Structures are given as structure tokens and as C-alpha cells.
Amino acid sequence: MARADVIVLGAGIVGTSIALHLAKRGLSVVLIDRGPAGEGTSYGNTGIIEGNTIFPQVFPSDWKALIRIALKRAPEANYHLSFLPRVAPWLAAFRAASRPERVMETAEFMRPLFTRAVAEHEALVAESGAARYLVRHGWLKLYRSDAAFAAQARELDVAAKLGIANVPLDRDAALALEPSLAPVFRHAVHWTGAVSVTNPLALTRAYAARFAALGGIKLTGDARTLHRVDPSWSVDTTAGPVDASDVVVALGPWAPDVLEPLGVKLPLAVKRGYHRHFRAQGNAALSRPVLDAEKGYCLAPMEQGIRLTTGAEFAARDAAPTPVQFDRLLPSARELFALGDPVEPQPWMGSRPCFADSRPVIGRAPGQRGVWLAYGHGHWGLTLGPATGRLIAEMMTGATPFCDPKPYGAERYTQ
């Protein structure tokens, strides 16, 4: 039986960052995943490290948008009808958390993590030799109508108060930044402080390699074998059982598979999302990720091609993929940018692990000594992986955490 100080379950960007932070602090750490590092949700995101984020995604307040979604005509969202009864309580909580005063509260709770997001990646990138995957050109949000641009005035106001860098642009100024875009929009905002990643899988792999270089061990195993062997925890791996007094559950959308049998039941839902890479036609190119705000998709330049990513799909995590949003949004995407042939035969699908209040859970598991939680990062797991890694490592080693972890505690659901 191998023994470590800490077992980290899940080698996505969150678990890998945690394992690396713990190893940097001198702990012996075993990182366990059923597959190689970075091949879950962390594989397929848009690659934006968006420390600029202020407000969370909200439940639509506009009836026209809701009707479009209900009629399955919206490019930005899709759902499986049979799943709605199951997700209804979560949706009700999400709607309640979308009230303006709650959204502002979320913004305040999340700011300390976002403030550190880019700097924490930069620190890990520097020591992992992964600087080549980071692009420091910010990201661009496009607005096709004056109304949509006006609707985010509050975000720009708050950004100004918080000193978050952005440059509102007219169409010509945006086209000067991204000459391959077609002039089908009227306004843009350039969030200059955001950083983008040209290969999110390679980034997680680089952090995993750094973890290994520090003496960390990555093993293959099924996290669902976690069980108590008093006073420790044990997990079965292909190299045999591993024991540790502390275990961190960083399984993203799969966390409930391990936690619910232990009686830790927190209301996680998934917002599924898809991507597909396309070749660019001719000399068309992008220097940074671009959001077509009213159409609800992103185009991001990746090593594999131009990655087109979709918004949310409410469906069971393990239900078969239904990438119908591509049919709805591809005409707009092709109008905006000269997309050529798709690179892969089928789109990739992932599941954003989301709590209704748009905050992750980071901290101790209620009622299970030695179990720590770090999951539910929703739309921002790539952004917040390293900041989460630092925060939980500081909590676990008794150091002063760089921010107050209370807003991320599981207790908000159990008390």
C-alpha cells in the first residue's frame, strides 16, 4: 500500500493546479484520474483566462429570449425536454441568483479569485515552461445592435470603478484589431487584460509535467473507489491502493459520483457545451478569442484551428450529444469570419460543472474529516484553476489564504 500526504482526485485544470500547488509546498501528493491529465472538460474550452469577468451568466430576463430558447431557435442555449423536471429546482435557484442585487453580490464574492487569475497562471506557466501557449492580446466582445451594447453599460461602469482594463471600440477600430472579421457588428469591447490559451490540453499537461518534476505522482484509477480506512482515505489505482489522510475531490462535473455516496449532496448541475475546429479560408486569421454576444458563441484561435464554442445545453451529463446549436449559429459564425472545412468529423462535448450561485465550492467537505472540495467552476474553470490551487493549498497547509475562502464554502448549502 502506497502512502501520500494528499490524494487529489481529478486531473483537470483544477485538480492538476491543486496537486502542483501542494507539491510546491513540500507535500507528497498522488494525483489520480481515470485517464491522462487534461482530457475532461478542461480539454475543450474557449481558452480564455478572463480575470476581467465581473458578472456571472444570468437566467434570461427577456421574454423574447426565453421564448426563442423554449422553441429551440436560440443559438445560445438548448435543452432536453425530458431533463427539465430534474433540473427545475436548480433552474429556479439560478433564476433567483440572477436578480440584480444577487448578481452584484456574486461579483463581489468572486472578485478576489478573478483578480488573481491571470497572475496565478503566469506563475505556473513560468515554472512549467509553457509560456508559448499564452497570448496576451485580451479578448473581444462584439455587439451587433446598439441595444445589446447599451445593455452591458453597467458592466463597463463597474469595470471602471474596479479598474478593470477595457476599451470600447467602434466597428472600424475593432476591424483594425481583427482585420479578418466581417463588418456585421456595430460595437465591440476589447478586454485588454485577459489572456488566451492556444491549447488548453497542452497547458494542463505542462502543469502535470511540472508536478511530476517536483516528485508528484500521477496514477490511473477510479475515484469512485474512495473509501475510509480509519483514520485515512484510500483509493484503488492500477498501481495498487493509495492511502492519505487528506483527499481533494476535484472531479468537476463528476464530483457527485464520489461525494453523494459519502452523504455530501450539493446541488451541482451541468451546462453542456460543444466545440468544433474549422480551418480558416485563405489568409483569414484571428489574434484573440472573439465573442459574438447576441448569437452566443465564441471563435478562438487554437493550434488545432479556429475553435467554435457553444453556449449552454441543459441535459443530463451522460446523455448522448445533441450538437444542434451548430446548425443555429453556423450561419452567423460564417457571416462573421471565413470559416472553412471542419477539422474533426464530429463536435467535442464537455460539461461545465455549475452551482446556481455561480460560485465554486472550495474548502472542507461537511461531515467528512480529511475530505476537501474544489469543483463547480462553471464557465471559469480554466481561468480559476491555479488561483483555486493556491487557495486550497494554503488552507490545507495552515498558511494564511490569499483571500477569504468563506464565500466558496460548502456550508452555504448545508446550513
Ligand X SMILES: Cc1cc2nc3c(=O)[nH]c(=O)nc-3n(C[C@H](O)[C@H](O)[C@H](O)COP(=O)(O)OP(=O)(O)OC[C@H]3O[C@@H](n4cnc5c(N)ncnc54)[C@H](O)[C@@H]3O)c2cc1C
Q: How far is CA 198 from CA 14, 53, 133, 135, 307, in A?
A: 18, 20, 5, 7, 10
Residue 297 beta carbon to ligand X: minimum distance, rounded to whole angstroms: 9
Looking up cell 468529423 gives 345
Do residues 295 and 76 make contact, with C-beta atoms less than 8 angstroms apart? Answer: yes
* ∠ CA 12-289-352, rounded to 5°: 35
Any contact of residue 76 with ligand X (CB under 6 A)? no
Which residue from 42, 152, 237, 325 is in contact with ligand X, where contact means CB under 6 A? 42
Q: Which residues is 49 bridged to in the sheet?
A: 195
Binding mask 216-235 for ligand X (x = CB under 6 A): ------xxx-----------
Residue 211 beta carbon to ligand X: minimum distance, rounded to whole angstroms: 14
Any contact of residue 56 with ligand X (CB under 6 A)? no
Residue 243 beta carbon to ligand X: minimum distance, rounded to whole angstroms: 17
Q: How far is CA 124 from CA 74, 246, 394, in A?
A: 38, 23, 16
Any contact of residue 111 with ligand X (CB under 6 A)? no
Kindly tell me which of 10 and 56 has the beta carbon lying closer to ligand X. 10
CA dihedral 127, 124, 167, 273 (to 10 degrees): 130
Any contact of residue 356 with ligand X (CB under 6 A)? no
Looking up cell 462573421 gives 336
Kindly tell me which of 290 and 336 has the beta carbon lying closer to ligand X. 290
Any contact of residue 187 with ligand X (CB under 6 A)? no
Kindly tell me which of 11 and 125 has the beta carbon lying closer to ligand X. 11
Which residue from 23, 31, 33, 185 is in contact with ligand X, where contact means CB under 6 A? 33
Q: How far is CA 287 from CA 134, 284, 341, in A?
A: 12, 10, 20
Q: Which amino acid is at 310?
A: T
Kindly tell me which of 171 and 342 has the beta carbon lying closer to ligand X. 342
Kindly tell me which of 101 and 318 has the beta carbon lying closer to ligand X. 318
Q: What strand order describes the sheet that includes 195-197?
A: 48-49, 195-197, 134-135
Any contact of residue 53 with ligand X (CB under 6 A)? no
Which residue from 11, 27, 135, 247 is in contact with ligand X, where contact means CB under 6 A? 11
Binding to ligand X in span 249-278, by CB under 6 A:
250-254, 257, 273, 275
Do residues 180 and 306 make contact, with C-beta atoms less than 8 angstroms apart? Answer: no
In the numeric block, which cell numbers belong to residue 220? Answer: 490511473
**3-class SS of residue 118:** helix
Q: Where does 144-198 show beta strands of DSSP type E? A: 167-170, 187-191, 195-197
Binding to ligand X in span 289-308, by CB under 6 A:
none
Any contact of residue 407 with ligand X (CB under 6 A)? no
Kindly tell me which of 15 and 409 has the beta carbon lying closer to ligand X. 15
Stretch (H or E) spanning 123: helix 100-128
78: left (phi over 0), alpha (psi -120 to 50) or beta: beta
Kindly tell me which of 31 and 181 has the beta carbon lying closer to ligand X. 31
Residue 38 beta carbon to ligand X: minimum distance, rounded to whole angstroms: 7
In the numeric block, which cell numbers belong to residue 410? Answer: 460548502
**Near ligand X by CB under 6 A, which window of 7-15, 18-26, 167-175, 324-332?**
7-15
Any contact of residue 389 with ligand X (CB under 6 A)? no
Residue 31 beta carbon to ligand X: minimum distance, rounded to whole angstroms: 10
Residue 268 beta carbon to ligand X: minimum distance, rounded to whole angstroms: 11
Residue 136 has phi, psi (to 5 degrees) of -105, 55
Kindly tell me which of 48 and 97 has the beta carbon lying closer to ligand X. 48
- Buried-exposed string 3-23: b where 16+ CB fall within 10 A, e elsewhere: ebbbbbbbbbbbbbbbbbbbb
Residue 282 beta carbon to ligand X: minimum distance, rounded to whole angstroms: 27
Residue 17 beta carbon to ligand X: minimum distance, rounded to whole angstroms: 8
Any contact of residue 337 with ligand X (CB under 6 A)? no
Number of residues that bind ligand X (CB under 6 A): 42
Distance CA 28, CA 214 (A): 10
Binding to ligand X in span 125-144, by CB under 6 A:
none
**Near ligand X by CB under 6 A, which window of 43-51, 97-105, 173-181, 404-412?**
43-51
**3-class SS of residue 370:** coil
**3-class SS of residue 158:** helix
Binding site for ligand X (CB under 6 A): 10-15, 33-35, 39-42, 44-48, 50, 222-224, 250-254, 257, 273, 275, 309, 350, 352-353, 375, 377-383
